[in-house]
């Protein structure tokens, strides 16, 4: 079995997952929510499995772009980012993101580690001072070579559609090129390190073209972490930003308890990032770790973009989708479901209002919600509201066999970060259960007193399959599984279940009284959305 987590002493599996830290220059859009919801689903899955899980997200708050935007708004940089970060935290609360820590690069605990890391790299001879001249994109916080800029349309950054700037300044540099061969060897020895395979191939080709040493300080602005031995310089973005993955869990911390947390969780098991920043996480970050003599993360996974008909979603292009608007319209669980079901994880996917509405009505209202409504109604009508005792001789095993197959597939897909496939497997069981109702026709069985045992076995199978479905949905939907659990007549917290033990058939106690309620996912008519909103 391919586990994404790593075993610690005593065979306890730990799982440490991170999102990128987001740049608080403006409100986040649905593309950022996609990354964070995916990471949250994986963290919730590992908690469901009983693993020692740590989930980190946060914000990257330094840099020239922030300083410029704050000045344009008539605010100090810290005041400017505080307001935006408060909005990010509120969005994650609304989407029920279950992070264990939220790191801000303006926090003293982070800045202290960045300075210690910079000093350590300098003392080892891996950082040196030189002059730099090159093309720079303030939105990317990245420098580009003449060859790269020659391929930019009209000299504009392809990601942000804004002209790059020509800069010359004294800087400190990190010896990135020194470690190129060592990184290539690691990638060859650990093909799972960069995923999907297409991203790995891109990074291998990039490294083989030759790495240039990395600019790691700036003097043209001062909104950043001061270089510890040269106060004219501030630490440039990637040493500052990437260090969050170890500063948050206690690397080089003075507190022994924090250092213990670092020993407990490092190396990270999954760095989850958008494909546009894979290079920084799969090249710069592992080389920084090599220079610090730290083990490398298990996996860097670069997922695709959420694309609109007008192209890549971006604040610069003004075509972003506000996740709050979608949550108002469809509900948090439906938004999370759409993001993780509609798009094969790793590939680009299209977002449209029609796709969202179609997926909601087809999967959630018609299949999932309707199954619960139909089956609990039949339990009330045919079984006096209590789940009947199944009779082995009358159990055809159709749903039992499929539930076992789906549970195994679900586990494998989650371990391989195939989130869309995991949801497809769950919905396969849901769809088969709906078909099972039509095939077995419990209303006909109820009319024949001689078929009471067959009716009992059919109804038990339907309810037990839904118990397993509710557990499998918990990584993806924070609220709906609780409502399913309650309507199935079960007590306690569905999230307290443990996987894969919860997949064992027959755990729904006979005699459990259902608590039929309002539809969990009521159907949404197109007209209700409103033409003006679309």
Largest CA distance in the chain: 91
Six-digit token string for 469: 């479905």
Nearest to 483 by CA among 364, 403, 359: 364
Question: What's the whole-model pTM score?
Answer: 0.91
| Counts for the chain of helices (H) and strands (E), in that order | 22, 17
324 tagged catalytic: no
Residue 275 has pLDDT above 60, yes or no: yes
pLDDT band at 326 (very low <50, low <70, confident <90, very high): very high
Residue 138 has pLDDT above 80, yes or no: no
pLDDT of 387-426, one tens digit each?
999 999 999 999 999 999 999 999 999 999 999 999 999 9
pLDDT of 198-244, one tens digit each?
999 999 999 999 999 999 999 989 999 999 999 999 999 899 999 99
CA distance 534 to 532: 6
- Mean confidence (pLDDT) of the chain: 92
pLDDT band at 532 (very low <50, low <70, confident <90, very high): very low
Could you tell me what percentage of the chain is helix, strand and coil, using 3-state DSSP and rounding each to the nearest 5?
50, 15, 35
315 tagged catalytic: yes
CA distance 301 to 112: 28
Residue 110: what are its φ and ψ, rounded to 5°? -80, -45
Residue 485 has pLDDT above 60, yes or no: yes
Nearest to 241 by CA among 265, 258, 216, 264: 216
Name the catalytic one among 46, 65, 110, 140: 140
Q: Can you say how many angstroms the Cα of residue 183 is from the centroid of all Cα atoms in its chain? A: 26
Count the neighbouring beta carbons within 10 Å of the beta carbon of residue 217: 25
Share of the chain above pLDDT 70, in %: 93
Name the catalytic one among 49, 157, 215, 327: 157
- Specify the pLDDT at position 6: 63
Name the catalytic one among 14, 160, 178, 186: 160
Does residue 174 come out as left (phi exceeding 0), alpha (psi in the -120 to 50 range) or beta? Answer: beta
312 tagged catalytic: yes
Name the catalytic one among 14, 29, 178, 324: 29
29 tagged catalytic: yes
Residue labelled with tokens 């557990």: 471
Six-digit token string for 421: 């496939």
The answer to whether 316 and 161 have CB atoms below 8 angstroms apart is yes
pLDDT band at 8 (very low <50, low <70, confident <90, very high): low
pLDDT of 12-41, one tens digit each?
799 999 999 999 988 888 888 999 999 999
Name the catalytic one among 137, 215, 327, 383: 137
11 tagged catalytic: no
Q: Can you say how many angstroms the Cα of residue 35 is from the centroid of all Cα atoms in its chain? A: 4
């Amino acid at each position: 079995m391919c586990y994404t987590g790593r075993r610690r002493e005593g065979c306890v599996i730990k799982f440490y997952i991170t999102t990128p830290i987001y740049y608080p220059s403006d409100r986040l859009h649905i593309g950022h929510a996609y990354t964070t919801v995916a990471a949250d689903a994986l963290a919730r899955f590992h908690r469901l499995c009983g693993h020692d899980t740590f989930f980190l997200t946060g914000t990257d708050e330094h840099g020239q772009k922030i300083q410029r935007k704050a000045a344009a708004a008539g605010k100090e940089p810290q005041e400017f980012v505080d307001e935006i970060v408060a909005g990010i935290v509120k969005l994650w609360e609304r989407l029920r993101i279950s992070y264990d820590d939220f790191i801000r690069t303006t926090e003293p605990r982070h800045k202290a580690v960045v300075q210690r890391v910079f000093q350590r790299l300098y003392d080892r001879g891996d950082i040196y001072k030189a002059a730099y001249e090159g093309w720079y994109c303030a939105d990317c916080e990245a420098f580009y070579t003449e060859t790269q800029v020659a391929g930019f349309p009209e000299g504009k950054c392809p990601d942000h559609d804004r002209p790059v700037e020509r800069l010359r300044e004294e800087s400190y540099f990190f010896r990135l090129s020194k470690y190129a061969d060592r990184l290539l060897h690691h990638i060859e020895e650990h093909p799972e390190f960069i995923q999907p395979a297409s991203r790995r191939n891109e990074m291998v080709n990039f490294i083989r073209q030759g790495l240039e040493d990395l600019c790691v300080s700036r003097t043209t602005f001062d909104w950043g972490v001061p270089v510890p031995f040269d106060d004219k310089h501030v630490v440039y973005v990637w040493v500052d930003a990437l260090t969050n993955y170890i500063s948050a869990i206690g690397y080089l911390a003075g507190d022994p308890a924090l250092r213990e947390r670092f020993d407990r969780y490092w190396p990270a098991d999954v760095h989850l990032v958008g494909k546009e920043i894979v290079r920084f996480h799969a090249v710069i970050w592992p080389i920084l770790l090599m220079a610090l003599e730290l083990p490398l993360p298990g996996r860097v996974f670069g997922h695709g973009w959420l694309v609109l008909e007008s192209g890549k979603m971006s604040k610069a292009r003004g075509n972003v989708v506000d996740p709050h608007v979608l949550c108002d319209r469809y509900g948090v669980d439906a938004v999370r479901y759409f993001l993780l079901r509609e798009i094969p994880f790793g590939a680009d996917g299209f977002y449209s209002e029609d796709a969202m509405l179609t997926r909601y009505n087809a999967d959630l209202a018609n299949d999932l919600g309707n199954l619960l409504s139909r089956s609990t109604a039949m339990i009330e009508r045919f079984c006096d509201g209590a789940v009947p005792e199944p009779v082995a001789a009358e159990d055809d095993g159709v749903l039992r066999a499929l539930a076992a197959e789906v549970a195994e597939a679900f586990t494998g897909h989650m371990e391989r970060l195939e989130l869309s496939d995991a949801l497809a497997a769950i919905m396969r069981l849901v769809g088969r259960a709906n078909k099972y109702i039509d095939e077995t026709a419990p209303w006909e069985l109820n009319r024949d007193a001689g078929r009471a045992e067959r009716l009992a076995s059919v109804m038990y199978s339907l309810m037990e399959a839904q118990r397993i479905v509710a557990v499998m949905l918990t990584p993806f939907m924070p609220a709906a599984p609780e409502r399913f659990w309650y309507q199935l007549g079960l007590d306690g917290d569905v999230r307290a279940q443990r996987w894969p033990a919860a997949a064992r058939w027959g755990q729904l106690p006979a005699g459990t009284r259902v608590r039929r309620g309002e539809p969990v996912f009521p159907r949404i008519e197109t007209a209700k959305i409103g033409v003006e909103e679309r």
